[in-house]
Amino acid sequence: MNSATAGEVVEILHRRYPPETAQEWDRVGVALGDLSGSAKRIYFAVDVLPETVAEAIEWGADFFISHHPLFLFELTEAAPGESPTPIAPWKSQLAVQLEVSGAVLLTLHTNADVANPGVSDALAQALGLINVVEMPEGLGRVGEVVRPVPLQKFVEQVARSIPVGINGVRSTGDPQQLIKRVALCGGSGDDRFEIVQGLGVDAYLTSDLKHHRVNEALAGGAPILIDGGHFATEWPWLPQAARLLAEDLQECGYAQPEMKISEISTDPWRVR
């Protein structure tokens, strides 16, 4: 049984996470690498940072799948009269390191956010939610806890279920309020507040919540708002994506590659 080439792996992944479903501002797809070689050691990480690149190269990865792009606004075409965004030297250095190692770098970002199953499905599964359905526009999910629990217990459940950082899980609301129906969006989701208000949920779990937006949302009738951290709410997608890729490769008749899911936390907060 032959191994899939890097190009064939890209094709398989893009069937599940079509690039055309990504947000217009996003930069998904192949960032670098030769697609003609075999993909025998596939590495998954949320971020392309010095520590994850070093781990991938040390492990001998020939294919690096990241959720967040290495290059985002740097590759955006500059508007007339504007200068292009310069590429940070450390990003260029990481790109060179990956190219020298022979690895392909593929980004699956907002196209993985809206996929079904995708980032928020993996988060819902990690929390043990049931009766999970899509939120409007396909970004985010709504589900139910198996039995209602006080908010304090639900927050503790979140903290046990995903790799939260040093800041833990933050929540608004009464610790004793019962939580049954939950909306969630892995990664940054404060642009969904207005939609969440009309879903009849007890709480909304996402990340990157800010003071003014939260206070205004609560004053406007939002449910309990829970911040689980950006990295933590997206990391569960990595093992899900690896499992689905293994299934797809088997279905297509390819040999199974070795896969490594990075457990390096790229949550930047370290001290509290």
Q: Are 123 and 108 contained in the same domain? A: no
124 in the same domain as 63: no
Quick check: 265 and 231 in contact, CB under 8 A? Answer: yes
Could you tell me if 10 and 47 lie in one domain?
A: yes
Domain with 199, as residue range(s), is: 119-228
Total Cβ atoms within 10 A of residue 244: 18
Give domain status of residue 22, yes or no. Answer: yes
Q: Is the pLDDT of residue 76 over 80?
A: no
Task: Express as a percent the part of the chain with pLDDT over 70.
Answer: 100
14 found inside a domain = yes
- SS3 category, 198: coil
State pTM to two decimals. Answer: 0.95
Residue pair 6/37 in contact by the 8 Å Cβ criterion: yes
Residue 135 shares a structural domain with residue 99: no
Rounded-to-10 torsion of CA 108, 114, 115, 117: 110
Express each pLDDT in 78-124 by its tens digit: 788 888 888 899 999 999 999 999 999 999 999 999 999 999 999 99
* Per-residue confidence (pLDDT) for residue 85, from 0 to 100: 84
Rounded alpha-carbon distances, angstroms, from residue 207 to 124, 138, 158, 170, 184: 14, 18, 12, 9, 9
- How many CB atoms are located within 10 Å of the residue 79 CB? 8
Residue 46 and residue 129 in one domain: no
Radius of gyration of the chain (CA): 19
Asked if 202 and 196 count as a contact pair (C-beta separation under 8 A), the reply is no
Number of domains the chain is built from = 2
Provide the pLDDT for residue 77: 73
Instruction: Report percent pLDDT > 90 for the chain.
Output: 93
Query: Do residues 89 and 40 share a domain?
Result: yes
pLDDT digits (tens, 9 = 90+) for 138-170: 999 999 999 999 999 999 999 999 999 999 999
Task: List the structure tokens of 206.
Answer: 């996402």
